[in-house]
Amino acid sequence: MNVKKAILRRATVASVAICLFALAIIGQLIYVQFFQKLDGRMWKDRITQFHIKKDTLRATRGNIYSRNEDPLAISLPYYYVGIDPRVAKTDSFNKKVDSLAILLSQKFGERSREEYAYMIRKARENERQYLLLSRKKITYQERIAMQKWPFFRRDRSKSGLGGGKFDPVYQRYHPYGRMALRTVGYLNPETARGLVGLETSFQKELAGKDGVGLVESLSGGVRMPIEDGSDIKPEPGMDIYTTLDVNFQDMAETALLHGLEKYEAEQGCLIVMEVETGEIRAMANLTLKNGKYVENFNHALAGGGDPGSTFKLPTFVALLEEKLIRPEQMVHTGGGVVTYHGRRISDAKRSGHGSITAAQVFEKSSNVGVHLLMSSSNMYNHPDTYCRYMRRFKLDKPSGLRLIGETMPVIPNPQSPGWSKLSLNSMAIGYELKLTPLQMLTFYNAIANDGKWVQPMLVKQVRRANEVVKDYEPYVAQEPICTQTTIRQVKKMLEGVVERGTAKKSQSPYYRFAGKTGTAQKLIGGRYQVGKYYTSFIGYFPAEKPKYSIAVVVDSPHGANIDLLYGGSVSAPVFREIADRIYAYDVEMHRPVAIASKTPRQSAKGIKAGFADDIRTISTELNMDAKPDAEGWVTTEAQGSGTQWVSQTAQNKVPDLRGMTLRDALHLLENRGFRVRFEGYGKVIDQSIPPGDPLPNPRKITLTLRQSARPDTLMVALNKKNQPGK
């Protein structure tokens, strides 16, 4: 009995103790929640200053490059400047905080030096982990300069000063400004997703995969990552390598601008495509807005409408394939005016062309002649046959370019709404249709390519660092669009347009080109407007062995003389200008020139780095005195009054990248496992980790590039030698 009482008493005491302990905990929680103060402030007030939560860690967006590996769109690091005021030793802090305040005031100008000093001291007293020093972001170059400041120096641990922080954020940057901007694309500033162009077409590849981690939200919208080991790291986006050539693009935009300005046109576009592969070397688009020409719409991809007389080529190919006409047959166009089912059909030449051959009908772009050929061949009575050829030519489908936004072509047929007995007459000369410049160029390119239809191509590769994830090969249709006999016949006609026809004023004394002019009245408000023209020229060169096909559109040109606003006067000269520039640039198109064996050896001055085998090969070809005696990746070092070549093969040290092209530097670094960031373009002039240092962990490096004022002859030759597709 006594034992039971003892047990009961002990249980009662234990229960009371537990209850008292629980009450004490509850009391302490109430005290902390509602009464306890730290540094004069309640905890419930302090918690409003810091917000710690899980947040998305944005992946670094991949870059977009040209075919020469020039950066077209890259993500550059910018930095918020902050400090952990607790890190520095007390003596060092007190000695240098005023110096830092002066520098901050001079740099950012947001506060006086006294205000900066007070703010930093107060943050240290309150043991704040992070203090944002400015809401302005700085560039990488500014960060390098600030690393000489107190609290931010690299040797901060030795000096007892530390705590300075640079928190990176990445912004999209276009090294070539607005060049090809609508094609390359840009981002939605609110979502950081691609809005147009390649940026949206390859959003998934470029964006990468976001991670998850803890962040602390600070004043001014800044988010400070908290490293606690639980983060899911973001996966950087992949890089896109295009077929665009920055030199071609620059030439295209310049030639197009000249044509638009000369005729005060409202808009236009210019496309350069490699005949054999379908690779697009340039895609320029300009629109007149507020008195200036800007690239705000992709007319080449989405500017559908009546192509006009350039569509006479598909008409002639269909007639020739059916053997309904012969190039040499005579056509009596009379005074250049006929009537068909109540419609007046006329030629641009008011007096008409009289009796001419079918080939001359094409060369002189006679609407009357085309009508008479369609009528005499009985094609008007077989519209299904005509439309079947348009499908065979793939004009009824988009070109297949991997770029979102291409306009769907419209090729009517007898089953289409609105079809009439006049529809085929309109189609034969390029009306009642909807085709983009790119779709028309793709057809002309097939003619230049001996009937082989090639899908236009803008993206060559998708890479993750140095790994090729996706390699896009040219797509060539199995069946030719027509016979070789027809190809030979229409090629002669296309050459005749330039030699004897509507584009004869644009002939070149240096090379031969072929093509077709086009002029279509604009359909506005349901009516075709006299004097409002859509002018174009589509062709290829050199005529005897086509390498490039080009489409030029100058939309709505203006001038006092309406007879001078046709494709032959407006768009053909633009074709000639871009072709001249390409011909001068692409030396492979020139006839071989014998090189004397005793050409004086050129100096290798300015050659600083590269791959030894490449330097030897090109040095021999250019008869230059630059032959490294080292192997692999090499750089030059001063030795007495001269220089020597030094190999960069040590795998456990950071290589000297200065003087290298970006491509060479990337190859060397990525083979050592580095994640590379760079600023600017041209050759490497600085690197964030000094040459010869042990490999860091993590392996991240930033390169600073600058374009040389005078091109390095050997490096230009090396770049040409290594260009893909050559």
In a domain, 594, yes or no: no
Give how many domains the chain has, as a whole number: 4
182 and 262 share a domain?
no
Please indicate, yes or no, whether residues 527 and 649 belong to a single structural domain of this protein. Answer: no
Q: Output the pLDDT for position 422.
A: 96
Pair 187, 199: CB distance under 8 Å: yes
Would residue 360 count as lying in a domain? no
For residue 664, what is the domain's CATH number?
3.30.10.20
308-353 pLDDT, tens digit per residue, is 999 999 999 999 999 999 999 999 999 999 999 999 999 999 889 9
- 344 in a domain, yes or no? no
Residue 403 contacts residue 491 (beta carbons within 8 Å): no
Q: Which of 613, 725, 596, 609 is nearest to 665 (CA)?
A: 609
Which stretches does DSSP call E strand in 84-148? 131-132
Which pair of tokens denotes residue 569? Answer: 């006067």
Is 603 a member of any domain? no
Q: Say which amino acid occupies 466.
A: N
Token pair of 650 as six digits:
């040590």
Residue 335 belongs to a domain: no
pLDDT of residue 637: 63
Distance of CA 416 to CAs 305, 374, 524, 725, Å?
17, 21, 22, 43
Same domain, 385 and 474: yes
The DSSP code sequence of 92-128 is HHHHHHHHHHHHHHHHH-SS-HHHHHHHHHHHHHTT-
| Residue 21 pLDDT | 79
Strand locations in 306-450 (E): 330-332, 337-340, 343-346, 355-357
Q: Are residues 165 and 312 in the same domain?
A: no
**Predicted local confidence at residue 602, as pLDDT:** 45
| 334 in any annotated domain | no
- Is there a domain that residue 390 lies in? yes
Separation between Cα atoms, residue 546 and residue 540, nearest integer Å? 6
pLDDT digit string, tens, across residues 173-225: 999 999 999 999 999 988 889 999 999 999 999 999 988 776 665 544 445 66
Overall pTM > 0.85:
no
* 664 and 688 housed in the same domain: yes
3-state secondary structure 154-184: CCHHHHCCCCEEEEEEEEEECCCCCCCHHHH
Domain that holds residue 451: 246-324+377-589
User: Do residues 548 and 581 both lie within one domain?
Assistant: yes
Predicted pLDDT of residue 315: 98
Q: Which two tokens stand for residue 558?
A: 């203006």
* Regions of the chain where pLDDT drops below 70: 1-4, 32-56, 155-159, 214-231, 560, 563, 591-651, 670-671, 680-682, 707-726
Do 515 and 309 touch, CB atoms closer than 8 A?
no
- Same domain for 39 and 61, yes or no, is no
pLDDT score for 133:
94
181 neighbors 174 (Cβ within 8 angstroms): yes
C-alpha distances (whole Å) from 377 to each of 44, 504, 593 are: 91, 29, 50
pLDDT at position 449 is 98
